Amino acid sequence: MKSTIHRRRFIQAATRAAGASLVPPALSSAWSAPPGKALRAHDPQARALLSRMTLEEKIGQMTQAEQNALKDEGDIERYFLGSLLSGGSSDPKAGNTLQAWTEMYEGYQARALKTRLAIPLLFGVDAVHGHNNVLGAVIFPHNIGLGSTRNPGLVERAARITALEVRATGIQWAFAPCVAVPRDERWGRTYEGFSEDPEVARRLGEAAVRGLQQQRLDHPTSVLACAKHFVGDGGTVMGTGKPRSTDKKRLLDQGDTPMSEAELRRIHLPGYLGAIEAGVGSIMPSYSSWNGVKVSGSRRLLTEILKEEMGFEGFLISDYAAIDQITPDYKNAIEISINAGMDMVMVPNEYVRFFTLLRELVTEGRVKMSRIDDAVLRILRVKAAMGLLAKNPRIRADRRLHRSFGSAAHREVARECVRQSLVLLKNEKNVLPLSKTAARLHVAGRSADDIGDQCGGWTIDWQGRSGEVTTGGVTILAAVRSAVSASTEVTFSADGAGASGADAAVLVMGERPYAEGAGDREDLSLGPDEMAALERLKAAGVPIVAILLSGRPMLIEDALSRCDAMVAAFLPGTEGRGITDVLFGDFKPKGRLSFTWPRSMAQVPINAGDATYEPRFPLGFGLTFS
Ligand code: GLC
């Protein structure tokens, strides 16, 4: 009863702070945990287990190690580890195949079941646009593209397919959805957010959680979701970022978000409203700070607002070594973060040191046993909801799911996501749609035949990489070749040469893959190679259709003036045919920008609602075919 009243009060406060649009009545009145999502219902089972646990077994449940960092797989038993993760790039020793991942997961679970209480592991991966660590998985558009669809049903379907492919490896936890509200286009994680608009983040974040978790967390194809990064990760200001290892520059990522609590609630909280409404079982606090205080050490944010006011019943998992940034004294950092409300720590490498220091902190009374019990209860309540505390928990992979892994049916859903994510920015003289029976089409740009550029970061490797990175997928060049008639000649040049005489040219421009702070940029102009290719096509005197692959809004005035049509394709993933479906008119473009596109760097950051708002393309812009 108490928590429901609290929730209603929080909603009223959130609505007042944000204006009635934030939490529509339907949501506010339905905000008691949806059926099957009342995690507290599993407390009797969780408490029964908790009462039998030693301090070491409890601390083990709060410890998440990187699987690549295990000094000895026996450490799973030795330290009663409750969770492992595979970070962006860590792959099984035997390579990135579906089989290797499945065998790796099952091997680790088998070790966990040898412990006294045989509590299964939670194994987490960054399945942020498909099961993107595994070769052959379907790679969906990153969230910036899904944001342009404004289609919660489609986002839910994409998450459902992702869950099926994650469970095919046995893994049952995805560090997704990212419900950041990126406000500065120069941030390297802009593409991980759905939109600069908090309401879009709320609606699509809720849909993604539903797709991953379904109505019941113990369903054999449900995957525990993790809304991230709580809170204000997308609101940091330029110059406050963590110094980059490459050039020591302090730009945006993991920086500071200076604003009032009312502003923080209005802009950066809605994604968590949606996720909690959908029953999300885990939330990841951010590396960033709020008014100079590290979120991962903020009791106000993690306990008072998220757990007490918002009534979040699941558990908090820290970001990768995020608590290390709270203070140089690691033992004190652990003390601050756990006492602030962190429940599980993604250590991820020094798990023995973390285990030892947290035990000391409890022994010394600096972390109370009641806090340990609350953290472990939250973790066990989620494991119970997932069926992991049952007599014979389902922890082996269901290999029947291997049949649909990367299947044509799954790819069709991703292709639909690509189609609906495309935003038509310009279409002079109706040069689009192109004809499938044209005599010759010339495709240009190095990214035109590059699946790695099409997928972007978080694809097989943490940073992603250009070139052949997946064992599936269709590049834009291959898609053009498959779309046209047998009589149509398709020529290609990376640099734009050789186009003269063609009926039209398709130039693929854009960014190279990146992730996180490595993607922070001080300027959003297109590269010289892209512009040189465009000049060559211009000189050839052919109609030019530009396709822009980017993780964020770019400065495109020069390019726009030199081409006849331009489509923003963001980071579409493996299904390049979704692009040609629109280029050749089988489907009309319907995407609408989920971020504002600036005229110049002087305008950045620029967001709808700014006092001065004269963008190149406003939030919501998108043309279609007449
Ligand atoms: C990363 C990211 C987070 C990810 C985690 C595990 O640094 O900040 O989004 O889930 O570490 O890879």
Ordered by start, the domain boundaries in the chain are: 2-18+32-404, 422-603
Which of ligand 1's atoms lies nearest the C-alpha of 87? 12
pLDDT of 16 > 80? The answer is: no
What is the residue with the minimal CA distance to atom 10 of ligand 1?
175
Residues designated catalytic: 319, 516
Are 136 and 125 contacting, i.e. CB atoms less than 8 angstroms apart? no
- What is the C-alpha to C-alpha distance for residues 314 and 561, in angstroms, rounded to an integer? 51
What is the residue with the minimal CA distance to atom 6 of ligand 1?
87
Quick: pLDDT tens for 388-397.
999 989 889 9
Give the distance (Å) from ligand 1 centre to CA of residue 45.
Answer: 31
Nearest partner of 222 among 210, 235, 207, judged by Cα: 210
Band (pLDDT 50/70/90 cuts) for residue 422 is: very high
- What is the C-alpha to C-alpha distance for residues 418 and 42, in angstroms, rounded to an integer? 39
Band (pLDDT 50/70/90 cuts) for residue 23 is: very low
The pick from 83, 126, 317 for probing ligand 1's pocket by mutation, whose C-beta has the most ligand atoms within 8 angstroms, reads: 126
What is the residue with the minimal CA distance to atom 1 of ligand 1?
320
Quick: pLDDT tens for 545-563.
999 999 999 999 999 999 9
Across all residues in the chain, what is the average pLDDT? 94
Quick: pLDDT tens for 485-513.
999 999 999 999 999 999 999 999 999 99
Tokens 């989620």, located at residue? 382
The pick from 66, 86, 319 for probing ligand 1's pocket by mutation, whose C-beta has the most ligand atoms within 8 angstroms, reads: 319
Tokens 């969780």, located at residue? 46
What is the residue with the minimal CA distance to atom 7 of ligand 1?
320
Least confident of 46-50, 94-98, 576-580: 94-98
- Non-local (6+) Cβ contacts of 527 within 8 A are none
> What is the arrangement of strands in the sheet containing 83-86, beginning at the earlier edge strand?
173-174, 122-125, 83-86, 63-66, 345-346
Q: In the structure encoding, which two tokens stand for residue 184, read together?
A: 């500065």
Fold of the CATH domain 422-603: Rossmann fold (3.40.50)
Give the distance (Å) from ligand 1 centre to CA of residue 446.
Answer: 29
- What is the C-alpha to C-alpha distance for residues 103 and 468, in angstroms, rounded to an integer? 25
Give the distance (Å) from ligand 1 centre to CA of residue 515.
Answer: 10
**Percentage of the chain surpassing pLDDT 90?**
90
Tokens 């219902």, located at residue? 41
For 180, 198, 325, 596, the CA distances from 255, given in Å and listed in that order, are 14, 20, 11, 22
431: helix, strand or coil:
coil
**CA 379 centroid distance within chain:** 22
- What is the C-alpha to C-alpha distance for residues 273 and 285, in angstroms, rounded to an integer? 15
What number is the average pLDDT over the span 305-309?
Answer: 97
What is the residue with the minimal CA distance to atom 3 of ligand 1?
319
Give the distance (Å) from ligand 1 centre to CA of residue 319.
Answer: 6
- What is the C-alpha to C-alpha distance for residues 488 and 251, in angstroms, rounded to an integer? 48
When the candidates are 3.30.420.40, 3.40.390.10, 3.20.20.70, 3.20.20.300, the CATH number that belongs to 2-18+32-404 is 3.20.20.300
DSSP string, 209-237: HHHHH-S-TTSTT--B-EEEEETTGGG--
Which of ligand 1's atoms lies nearest the C-alpha of 178? 9
pLDDT of 76 > 70? The answer is: yes
Give the distance (Å) from ligand 1 centre to CA of residue 200.
Answer: 22
For 19, 27, 344, 464, the CA distances from 9, given in Å and listed in that order, are 15, 14, 28, 43
Give the distance (Å) from ligand 1 centre to CA of residue 487.
Answer: 48
Quick: pLDDT tens for 81-125.
999 999 877 677 668 999 999 999 999 999 999 999 999 999 999
Give the distance (Å) from ligand 1 centre to CA of residue 176.
Answer: 10
Name the DSSP class of 126.
-
Which of ligand 1's atoms lies nearest the C-alpha of 88? 12
The residue length of the chain stands at 626
- What is the C-alpha to C-alpha distance for residues 19 and 39, in angstroms, rounded to an integer? 30
pLDDT value, residue 90 = 65
Q: In the structure encoding, which two tokens stand for residue 51, read together?
A: 């009462």
Which of ligand 1's atoms lies nearest the C-alpha of 462? 12
Band (pLDDT 50/70/90 cuts) for residue 133 is: very high
The pick from 91, 320, 346, 461 for probing ligand 1's pocket by mutation, whose C-beta has the most ligand atoms within 8 angstroms, reads: 320
What is the residue with the minimal CA distance to atom 12 of ligand 1?
87
Q: Which amino acid is at 534?
A: L
Quick: pLDDT tens for 457-489.
999 999 999 999 988 899 999 999 999 999 999
- What is the C-alpha to C-alpha distance for residues 26 and 29, in angstroms, rounded to an integer? 5
Give the distance (Å) from ligand 1 centre to CA of residue 554.
Answer: 25
Which of ligand 1's atoms lies nearest the C-alpha of 124? 6
344: helix, strand or coil:
strand
pLDDT of 17 > 50? The answer is: no
Nearest partner of 126 among 408, 398, 515, 453, judged by Cα: 515
- What is the C-alpha to C-alpha distance for residues 476 and 581, in angstroms, rounded to an integer? 11
Residues within 6 Å of ligand 1 by CB: 87-88, 126, 175, 228, 319-320
Are 516 and 246 contacting, i.e. CB atoms less than 8 angstroms apart? no
Which of ligand 1's atoms lies nearest the C-alpha of 226? 10
**CA 471 centroid distance within chain:** 22
| Cis before 229? omega within 30 | yes
Q: Which residues pair with 617 in a beta bridge?
A: 597
